[in-house]
Amino acid sequence: MRLRGPSASPRRPPFLLLPLPALLLFFFAGSGGRARGRNWSSSPLLSLLLPVLLLIFSASPGWAGESAPPVAEQAVAQNIDLESPAYRELFRELGDEHGFALAELTELFTGVTINRRVLELMDTQWEAQPYYRYVARLLTWWNVGNGRSLLARHRELLDAVEAEFGVEREIVVAIWGIESNYGHNEGAFEVFRALNTLFAAYPRRSAFYRAQLVDFLLLCRENGVDPRSVRGSYGGAFGQAQFIPSSFRAYAVDFDGDGRRDLWGSVPDVLASIANYLRHFGWRFGAPRYVELGSELHDPRLQEASRAGRAGVMPAAEIAAALQLELPPAPDGKKLRIVGLEQADGGKRYLAAYPNFQAITHWNNSFRYAMAVLELAEKLQVE
């Protein structure tokens, strides 16, 4: 349940960035010195150019490798302000309501700094891309092939998950694949630092991340985990299922029976927790997920529903009448959403999104994400 952003652009290798100063130095050292039979370092021209060349040489991006931060990040990092009213109140709540000692909190929080990269990524999330571009990264041959292999490998486990939670296996595995590349990429951000950054320096969602920070400390204590050790996404999600802290505490499941909910190393716990989450938000086994409506919505009511996003719902019968087509009924007569997904030709692909589709949007509040899950799940089914 991760808030995504574009991957950081890879640094160009040093040899692509340094040829000019290197060649100039070689020129002066060779033809400008030894060719004339004198010490090249005594050249008056080189004595003028050498400081400039060295400055360019040392300042070239990538010169120090991946560990070298951009110039803008070389300034002293900003510490969170533990004396601010917001942190004083946070510490009071953690102490009075949850039994954390002040000395323990002071030691844990002291030295935590604002992560500027987290703030940048919060405003450039990948789900904001047009659908055709967003989904291309997820429906790769590798994702599909690996997902099919894992469906076969964990067949008995997935039998048990389906029987217990009533969520189709391909849906569970598709979310696993999209969230963490089937457990291979759980994120590299320090979750504790990311949550503090978003609480202290991202006003638009500060209250939400304050609650996540409290839940994170509680789940770490409940599961015997060092808060400083957890790595995850810039949005505070972690583990193979990329649960945010509140979702971990509410929906994570101990499915392997070892007495702890382990979303880092236990595949049974991971898959069962994904299914448990979807069941809680209304997933129905075998129920419709979506119906294609075409590339045009001529009825004004459908157009308005599409523009309204999550608030734009209509009964299946009204949609069917407006488009003169047959639609399967929704479970319990629930209303459908009209979803428009951007296509490469500039048009849109319209869908009637059923409650199962909508259950996925509780995981990630994006129609693009929900449809990507469903399309990957369809490709995982071996024909």
193-211 per-position pLDDT tens digit = 999 999 999 999 999 999 9
CB 233 within 8 A of CB 4: yes
Residue 129 tokens, joined: 């891309």
Three-class DSSP category at 48: helix
Q: Is the pLDDT of residue 17 over 90?
A: no
Long-range contacts of 319-326 (CB under 8 A, 24+ apart): 319/293, 319/352, 323/293, 323/294, 323/299
Lookup result for tokens 């995504």: 4
CB 182 within 8 A of CB 59: no
Report, as an integer, the average pLDDT of 121-148: 90
Q: Is the pLDDT of residue 137 over 50?
A: yes
Closest CA to 244 of 229, 260, 232: 232
Stretch among 24-28, 162-166, 276-280, 376-380 having the lowest mean pLDDT = 24-28
Residue 237 tokens, joined: 């999600």
What proportion of the chain, given as a percentage, has pLDDT over 90? 72
Q: Is the pLDDT of residue 185 over 50?
A: yes
CB 302 within 8 A of CB 353: no
Q: Which residue has the higher pLDDT, 18 or 141?
A: 141
Burial 18-40 (b: 16+ CB within 10 A, else e): eeebeebbeebeeebbeeeeeeb
Q: Is the pLDDT of residue 53 over 70?
A: no
What is the pLDDT at residue 276?
A: 98
What pairs with residue 243 in β-bridges?
238
pLDDT, tens digit, for every residue of 237-259?
999 999 999 999 999 999 999 99
What is the pLDDT at residue 383?
A: 56
pLDDT, tens digit, for every residue of 306-350?
988 878 899 999 999 999 889 999 999 999 999 999 999 999 999
What is the pLDDT at residue 262?
A: 94
Calculate Rg over the CA atoms of the chain: 27
Report, as an integer, the average pLDDT of 177-204: 96
Long-range contacts of 128-135 (CB under 8 A, 24+ apart): 129/368, 130/342, 130/343, 130/344, 131/341, 131/342, 131/343, 131/349, 131/368, 131/371, 132/341, 132/342, 132/343, 132/344, 134/368, 134/372, 135/368, 135/371, 135/372, 135/375
* pTM for the structure as a whole: 0.79
Mean pLDDT estimate for the chain? 83
Element at 197 (helix H, strand E): helix 191-201
What proportion of the chain, given as a percentage, has pLDDT over 70? 79
- Rounded-to-integer distance, Cα 296 and Cα 176, Å: 33
DSSP states along 50-77: HHHHHHHHHHSTTTT-TTSPPGGG-SPP
Report, as an integer, the average pLDDT of 176-192: 96
**Length in residues, the chain:** 383
Give me the amino acid identity at 144: V
Residue 375 tokens, joined: 């399309």
pLDDT, tens digit, for every residue of 63-72?
223 233 343 3
- Rounded-to-integer distance, Cα 272 and Cα 254, Å: 8
Q: Is the pLDDT of residue 373 over 80?
A: yes
Q: Is the pLDDT of residue 360 over 80?
A: yes
Q: Is the pLDDT of residue 62 over 70?
A: no
- Rounded-to-integer distance, Cα 206 and Cα 204, Å: 6
Three-class DSSP category at 358: helix
- Rounded-to-integer distance, Cα 325 and Cα 319, Å: 8
- 113-283+359-383: CATH topology is Lysozyme (1.10.530)
- Rounded-to-integer distance, Cα 130 and Cα 250, Å: 32
Report, as an integer, the average pLDDT of 79-94: 96
What is the pLDDT at residue 76?
A: 59
Neighbours of 172 (CB within 10 A): 27
What is the pLDDT at residue 309?
A: 81
- DSSP classification of residue 257: S
CATH 1.10.530 boundaries in the chain: 113-283+359-383
What is the pLDDT at residue 308?
A: 86
Long-range contacts of 263-268 (CB under 8 A, 24+ apart): 263/238, 263/239, 264/186, 264/238, 264/239, 264/240, 267/154, 267/157, 267/183, 267/240, 268/157
What is the pLDDT at residue 58?
A: 34
What is the pLDDT at residue 77?
A: 77
